[in-house]
Structure 1
Amino acid sequence: MTDASDDIVITGMGVVTPIGGDVETFWSANLQGRSGIVREERMDTTGLPCGWTAGLIPDDIREKTAAGHGAPGRSWGDTLMHAAVEQAVADARLDTRPAAPGPAALVYARVWPGPTGSHPRDYLTHMEDLAERYDTVGNEPAAVLRHLRAKNLPLETRDLSAYPREIAERLGTAVVPVRLEATCSGGLRAIAEAARLLRSGRARYAVVSAAVSRNTPYVLSQYGQLMALSRWKGDPAQASMPFDRRRTGMVINESAGALVLETARHAADRGVTEQHAVVGGWGLAVDTSHMTAPRVEMVERVMRTALAESGARPEDVDVINAHGTSTRLNDVTEARALHQVFGARTAELPVSAVKSLTGHGSAASGVVEAVASALTLCRGVVPPVPTCTEPDPACGVRTFLTPVERPVGTVLKNSFGFGGQYASMLFRRPAAPRRAAQAG
């Protein structure tokens, strides 16, 4: 039997999302069904077949985040991650109860690290730079290289390697940095990689972070060609409707999440005995059969692997925290895989889908939704999916329009992404759960 002191536990959490700039506000919005999806009014979308809505961080949270965590030359994506990490570090009480000497792991994922984030002017600046370069030197490789070397490149076109150094300085210790590129499954993969580094003894504790900010005409056109974005023309708050028969596609967002992971023994040695969640097993897979279309058998595979690696059976799962993107294909594929794994239980197995309120945050969604999974475990509440008012019988999953209080011992979290990326992870309720966020 595994020694519980070897469990990988979550001791710190932080988020910056369209529905809250901290964990408690984010959780309250989930329970209240308060949406962060609004009309995209920063650019002209009248000629587009989709992309009229977005999950945007409200102005007050944006200004507070920029003032507290922005820095000269720091991208908006990194600013978001710094804000989420600061929350997680305080929540884990790493300042007041520091970790034992030794390196920390830093596993992170970010998308579109432009200087102002998801604002369309990032895209326009980028395109103007490309046009100027072409007019000046054409496409001859050597000339292009000389041209670029002579320019001060904008943030979105160069590697921002300052982030690991900045986090190391904040933590006061060396870090083992790992940057992941795994599309929308990147958040769960980052958690899995952090757990692996802890189990191997290469790090004393781990910080996981992910951020996304990508709402530009270029991105909208890409997803539009894939027919992946919501074409809903009604109330923006209804635009993302996982497992609803009226769903027309996903809504993209800007967001960030961060976690502090450590072994239960390491946490106890610091005097931290209450935890947010225990990280169980996980399943990861890459499917080369199609770049964008998910497959039932692959979703089923990673869920079964997560259960097996956790020593759990399908009947042990209390709640599903779904990927739930609101696309026609993804939702029905995930639902069919759930039926394959859980059989007749699927009709009554509670399913939550955070993207109904926030939209889709690519790799950040896995970390943000892991926070929601941990809160479900500690608080014993299943968040509603308030936009699923007409459940799709082709999905046949159980969502709720209001919060449901019940004992929750395990949550299975799914994340899938373009490029054939699949991930599933089981989280368990800790023996001494954190009842409320505690900082300081």
Structure 2
Amino acid sequence: MKHQRRVVVTGFGLVSPLGNTIDELSANVFAGKSGIQQFVGPYLDKLSCKVAAQADFDPTQHFEKKSDYSILDRNGQMALHASKEAVKHAKLDTDRLNKLRTGVYVGTGMGGIHSVEDGYQTLFVEGENRLKPYTVLMCMYNSAAAAIATHFSISGPNLTFSTACSSSAVAIGQAMKDIRYGEIDVALAGGTDAILAYASIKSWEAIRTLAGEDKEDISKSCKPFSANRTGLVIGEGAATVILEELSHAQARGAHIYAEIVGYGAANDFKHIAVPSVEGQAAAMQKALDDSGLNPQSIQYINAHGTGTKFNDETETNAIKQIFGDHAYQLAVSSTKSMHGHLMGAAGVLESIITLLAMQRNELPPTINLQQADPKCDLNYVPNQSQKVDYLEYAMSNSFAFGGTGATLIFKKV
């Protein structure tokens, strides 16, 4: 399908368990390095699952004044820093932007969960009768997007999406649509989640989807597509991509990393927590339809690949349903094996990794894949990255509790 206005990626910024700069992320991902470790926190002894993918992020090192970050939850702090880095990476002069034709699109799964937990602690445990004046602003789901828009004086759309693990992929897709159809020319799009709070981790423990600790090496606890996988590893982080209408980017001489040519969102309606082949396949098919590409054009898929039994088997079968025999020619990898599951920020971080793969002509690995699962029989780029001659089209999948699946397709420019 041809669209009159084309949308390109001109920069990105991040906070992640694999580093907080593009160079750090790229070096660690393609070396197959794990950012998964024992959780560091004051309530470690109360956790059954002690594995996490934490970001090394101290707001005092990234903000000039305490007042710049003290009214934000950790998720907002990381999101604002990632957005500032993305603007810098894109060499975007925000003072010269048409602010009304610039938008902010942020996905988050749990919003300011640390501030919610702190508020309950203050009221119900400590017995206090007052909370911090900015508690509401720190807890609300749109606080990260609001902080970004305020920092850059953006007056165009300022939107927050909460579709669990697909939140940031949906944010990117919706931003792309608004640029494509002429609502705006530039977007800061991405996601954030800082869910490594006590109540949040205990909630994930209760649903029994978390990976057990690898007895030999805790950094190898996440094993997507492997026969001995035990679940997902939760992580934290934030990332932002700069999207621009093609002629806008060209007019300012921007470096273009890729074009977004397809986006598809579909609801997996069968169960709130159990995926289905039909729902995941529908998102991929809609993205292909949107792009006008045939399945044989796709060379690489950055899979949702959580490391749970249900998702990995379901996603494998969904890929087979859409791609047929070509599924066995595809490279499919789950980088969650290295950076864990960043929930609301997963889609955008994995999109950035996909863009880096296209830049390097190198496929990121699925590490810890030592025991093949007969039901997961595709090329998952096991354990080591793979060089390719040319990577032109790539897909990134994000599927979520609640059912919302989102797929993005990128073209190398």
In the superposition, the TM-score normalised over structure 1's length comes to 0.85
Q: 2:391 maps to which residue?
A: 408
Structure 1 residue 172, shift from structure 2 partner: 4.4
Structure 1 segment 361-372 matched on structure 2, within 5 A: 361-372=342-353
Structure 1 residue 17 corresponds to structure 2 residue 16: yes
Q: 2:269 maps to which residue?
A: 288
Structure 1 residue 250, shift from structure 2 partner: 0.3
Contact persistence 1:257–1:364 (CA under 8 A): yes
Deviation digits for residues 348-367 of structure 1 (CA, Å, limit 9, x no counterpart): 41112111111000120101
Task: Specify whether residues 108 and 124 from structure 1 end up closer, same or farther in structure 2 by C-alpha distance, changes over 3 A only.
Answer: closer
Structure 1 residue 15, shift from structure 2 partner: 1.1
Structure 1 residue 388, shift from structure 2 partner: 1.3
Task: Specify whether residues 99 and 239 from structure 1 end up closer, same or farther in structure 2 by C-alpha distance, changes over 3 A only.
Answer: same
1:315 counterpart SS class: helix
Q: 1:399 maps to which residue?
A: 380
Structure 1 residue 336, shift from structure 2 partner: 0.9
In the alignment of these two chains, the number of paired residues is: 409
Task: Specify whether residues 67 and 396 from structure 1 end up closer, same or farther in structure 2 by C-alpha distance, changes over 3 A only.
Answer: farther
Structure 1 residue 287, shift from structure 2 partner: 3.0
Contact persistence 1:77–1:111 (CA under 8 A): no
Deviation digits for residues 63-116 of structure 1 (CA, Å, limit 9, x no counterpart): 63466895231221111011111111112111289445643111012344549x
Q: Report the AA paired with residue 79 of structure 1.
A: Q
Q: Which moved more, 1:190-199 or 1:163-172?
A: 163-172
Structure 1 residue 75 corresponds to structure 2 residue 46: no
Task: Specify whether residues 233 and 62 from structure 1 end up closer, same or farther in structure 2 by C-alpha distance, changes over 3 A only.
Answer: farther
Q: 1:129 maps to which residue?
A: 122
| Counterparts of 2:105 and 2:118, CA distance in 1 | 30
Contact persistence 2:76–2:147 (CA under 8 A): no
Tell me which structure has the larger Cα radius of gyration: 1
Structure 1 segment 158-177 matched on structure 2, within 5 A: 158-159=139-140, 163-164=144-145, 166-177=147-158
Contact persistence 1:65–1:79 (CA under 8 A): no
Q: Report the AA paired with residue 128 of structure 1.
A: Q
Structure 1 residue 64 corresponds to structure 2 residue 64: no
Task: Specify whether residues 56 and 374 from structure 1 end up closer, same or farther in structure 2 by C-alpha distance, changes over 3 A only.
Answer: same
Q: Which moved more, 1:340-349 or 1:263-272?
A: 340-349
Task: Specify whether residues 81 and 324 from structure 1 end up closer, same or farther in structure 2 by C-alpha distance, changes over 3 A only.
Answer: same
Contact persistence 1:287–1:421 (CA under 8 A): yes
Q: Report the AA paired with residue 86 of structure 2.
A: A
| Counterparts of 1:113 and 1:44, CA distance in 2 | 21
| Counterparts of 1:47 and 1:71, CA distance in 2 | 29
Contact persistence 1:113–1:155 (CA under 8 A): no
Task: Show structure 1 runs of 5+ residues with no match.
Answer: 137-146, 431-440
| Counterparts of 1:268 and 1:77, CA distance in 2 | 33
Structure 1 residue 427, shift from structure 2 partner: 0.9
Contact persistence 1:259–1:367 (CA under 8 A): yes
Structure 1 segment 19-418 matched on structure 2, within 5 A: 19-45=18-44, 48-49=47-48, 51-58=49-56, 64-65=61-62, 71-95=69-93, 98-100=96-98, 102-114=100-112, 125-131=118-124, 152=133, 154=135, 158-159=139-140, 163-164=144-145, 166-234=147-215, 235-272=217-254, 274-400=255-381, 401-406=383-388, 407-418=390-401
Task: Specify whether residues 313 and 99 from structure 1 end up closer, same or farther in structure 2 by C-alpha distance, changes over 3 A only.
Answer: same
1:372 counterpart SS class: helix
| Counterparts of 1:58 and 1:263, CA distance in 2 | 33
Structure 1 residue 276, shift from structure 2 partner: 1.2
Contact persistence 1:352–1:399 (CA under 8 A): yes
Structure 1 residue 429 corresponds to structure 2 residue 412: yes
Contact persistence 1:17–1:255 (CA under 8 A): yes
Contact persistence 2:76–2:112 (CA under 8 A): no
Structure 1 residue 384, shift from structure 2 partner: 1.2
| Counterparts of 2:125 and 2:50, CA distance in 1 | 30
Deviation digits for residues 304-332 of structure 1 (CA, Å, limit 9, x no counterpart): 11111111111111001000100111111
Q: Report the AA paired with residue 184 of structure 1.
A: C
Deviation digits for residues 385-412 of structure 1 (CA, Å, limit 9, x no counterpart): 1211222121112122222111111111
Task: Specify whether residues 38 and 397 from structure 1 end up closer, same or farther in structure 2 by C-alpha distance, changes over 3 A only.
Answer: same
2:399 counterpart SS class: strand
Contact persistence 1:318–1:411 (CA under 8 A): yes
Task: Show structure 2 runs of 5+ residues with no match.
Answer: none
2:396 counterpart SS class: strand
Q: Report the AA paired with residue 253 of structure 2.
A: G
Contact persistence 1:99–1:270 (CA under 8 A): no
In the superposition, the TM-score normalised over structure 2's length comes to 0.91
Structure 1 residue 221, shift from structure 2 partner: 2.3
What percent identity do the matched residue pairs reach? 26
1:247 counterpart SS class: coil
| Counterparts of 2:146 and 2:277, CA distance in 1 | 41
Contact persistence 2:281–2:319 (CA under 8 A): yes
Alignment RMSD (CA, Å): 2.7
Task: Specify whether residues 162 and 125 from structure 1 end up closer, same or farther in structure 2 by C-alpha distance, changes over 3 A only.
Answer: closer
| Counterparts of 1:73 and 1:101, CA distance in 2 | 24
| Counterparts of 2:287 and 2:244, CA distance in 1 | 20
Structure 1 residue 288, shift from structure 2 partner: 3.1
